[in-house]
A and B are shown apart, each in its own frame.
Chain A
């Protein structure tokens, strides 16, 4: 199921993994342990295709992850440190969203069955943010196995769970192996039921220093301390041992019940729409972004009116600038929050785990942001019309607003995805975004001004061309580079 050959991963001059060779047979359950910083999470993230190795190869169910990442992702379920669930969606909405990402046939039946199995049927319509840690972890397991992956990777699945929740998780994982699934989990606790009698691989300083079944709970902790306390040594048991699957009762697992993967790749446009619908659903539950953008926009209009004393001919001249400055500031606020919401819950990581084209993620996020900005503008433009007594509600102006907003949403989505990973992310987005937008804003303001003077769209000449060229360039750049921004 897993074939890792001479895998190395470096972060700058630091080598996190060095010459890892690992084979895990179908139906096997392997526990990966080691001290903090040993490279466990890095290894799991490479196996899950979330990080790329510096050198070496990884094959999942015979598929080379470097060559056919989407095919490999269909075969992998991953439970990360984070639940990768959206707090502002219900349990059912979360699973339905991921079901669309994986194009799961008869999704509702699968969701019903999984919710029943993780004992969350009664709370299926509650927002995830109201769940306890244990409930969220159970739902996260349901998310990880939703598409029936033959391989499930679990990174510290017991972290933060109380004993009862840990027992429930153990039962769930035991069921998974009983059904023929392959498990690779990291754990610090070598005494759990899941760990005992399993094959244990110990990583230390990026190297495998032990690879054998763990049968003796009394002596293993001492051996473990010796392994990770001293210098890196050769594996006690060669990795070839791993070709012998070890189940909970030391017997090879029958593969009759092996999970069957849905091999049909999801449709690009359905995935885009699923992301847009997910963002809109989350916003409908909270209304936090729209409310903040709208109130901020109204405040900006009022402050500009007071500060510039906009009346009569002056209002006619200054109104386009005021409108676009308001759109720019309110948009920045919304974009920042929208991507932060995705980042806080690990949503982007969840999307990267799915067999989805990076362009679909970009389009989905950008269209979601565009919908939010347009929703604010639908209220803002009539309001500005009334406040400044300026005829914004005409075809050419609205087309300019639409084109400007599309460009804004495209470049804003790209830069918001960058800004969320920076220190002082709240101030970094406007610093990155506004200089890039200034040519657009100058053009949009000038075009709006000319149109308000009575010109038609065809008569604004170069302004319209710049607006269109800016849109094309920025969307092309965002499409080509967004994948690099969101990858780990």
Chain B
């Protein structure tokens, strides 16, 4: 079983510190947005959680490819752990998106394409987690999840490019002309993304450790059963 390492401790402390800095920047450093006012500050959480959520699904995709290529269960544990953490982030994206949508667009939910694709991503990774709980053989579970994780990630580029391909009312933060944001807003956004990313890695390492402990326990039980039979 893996003990909490120095890396974990540093990561947790760093995550908390950067997160506090990000909170301070969101409320005291970033300027008030002229049109939407204070409510626009949710943008820093919304965009950061979306970026990290998609990154988590990318790691699931990489883990799936790695598992299929090597059949090494470490890749599978990485993929599964990242999907679960990514799912938390995408849930946060949807909730913050809805909270932002009400004052901005007058409704909690609108079938705007990128919001819709985010919801689809959420459904995909809920299905991914359900699939993992529905297959009896661990080896088969890992294989199926890897395939589904790869197929699910195919929709991420569609989500990313949807804003260009479909007419949308979603604010286009990054365009071909660069970011349509004030410099202080950009600084705050990057620090928020860094904070959310550090928390993602801290959670990911804890989730991986939990899965490794589970495997270790299963091996001990098997050894125990073999010894007593």
CB neighbours (8 Å) of B158 from chain A are 439, 466, 469-470
CB neighbours (8 Å) of B14 from chain A are none
Q: Give the Cβ gap from B228 to chain A, nearest Cβ, in Å.
A: 13
One of A182-190, A274-282, A430-438 contacting the partner: A430-438
In the complex, are the beta carbons of B155 and A439 less than 8 A apart?
yes
Interface of B (DSSP majority class):
helix
In the complex, are the beta carbons of A11 and B146 less than 8 A apart?
no
In the complex, are the beta carbons of A428 and B134 less than 8 A apart?
yes
- How long is the Cα–Cα vector from A182 to B133 in the complex, in angstroms? 42
Interface size on B, residues (CB 8 A): 37
- Tell me if B131 is interfacial: C-beta within 8 Å of chain A: yes
Known contacts: A418-B131, A435-B123, A438-B120. The answer to whether A14 contacts B222 by CB under 8 A is yes
Question: For residues 400 through 445 of chain A, which have their beta carbon under 8 Å from a beta carbon of chain B?
Answer: 411, 414-415, 418, 421-424, 428, 431-432, 434-436, 438-439, 442
In the complex, are the beta carbons of B144 and A12 less than 8 A apart?
no
- How long is the Cα–Cα vector from A478 to B158 in the complex, in angstroms? 17
Q: Give the Cβ gap from A442 to chain B, nearest Cβ, in Å.
A: 7
What is the 8 Å Cβ interface bit string for chain B, positions 118-136, against chain A (1 contact, 0 not)?
0010011001001100111
- How long is the Cα–Cα vector from A241 to B146 in the complex, in angstroms? 44
- Tell me if A171 is interfacial: C-beta within 8 Å of chain B: no
- How long is the Cα–Cα vector from A466 to B116 in the complex, in angstroms? 15
Residues of A within 8 A of B (CB): 11-14, 52, 411, 414-415, 418, 421-424, 428, 431-432, 434-436, 438-439, 442, 462, 465-466, 469-470, 473-474, 477-478, 481, 484-485, 487
In the complex, are the beta carbons of B222 and A422 less than 8 A apart?
no
In the complex, are the beta carbons of B166 and A481 less than 8 A apart?
no
CB neighbours (8 Å) of A414 from chain B are 147, 151
- How long is the Cα–Cα vector from A474 to B120 in the complex, in angstroms? 16
Question: For residues 26 through 49 of chain B, which have their beta carbon under 8 Å from a beta carbon of chain A?
Answer: none
In the complex, are the beta carbons of B152 and A436 less than 8 A apart?
yes
In the complex, are the beta carbons of A477 and B150 less than 8 A apart?
yes
Q: Give the Cβ gap from A432 to chain B, nearest Cβ, in Å.
A: 5
CB neighbours (8 Å) of B146 from chain A are 481, 484
In the complex, are the beta carbons of B147 and A418 less than 8 A apart?
yes
CB neighbours (8 Å) of B123 from chain A are 434-435, 438
List 12 A-B pairs, Cβ < 8 Å.
Answer: A11-B139, A12-B215, A418-B131, A421-B135, A421-B144, A423-B135, A428-B134, A435-B120, A477-B150, A481-B146, A481-B151, A485-B143
A51 and chain B: residue at smallest CB distance: B139
Question: For residues 183 through 221 of chain B, which have their beta carbon under 8 Å from a beta carbon of chain A?
Answer: 215, 218-219
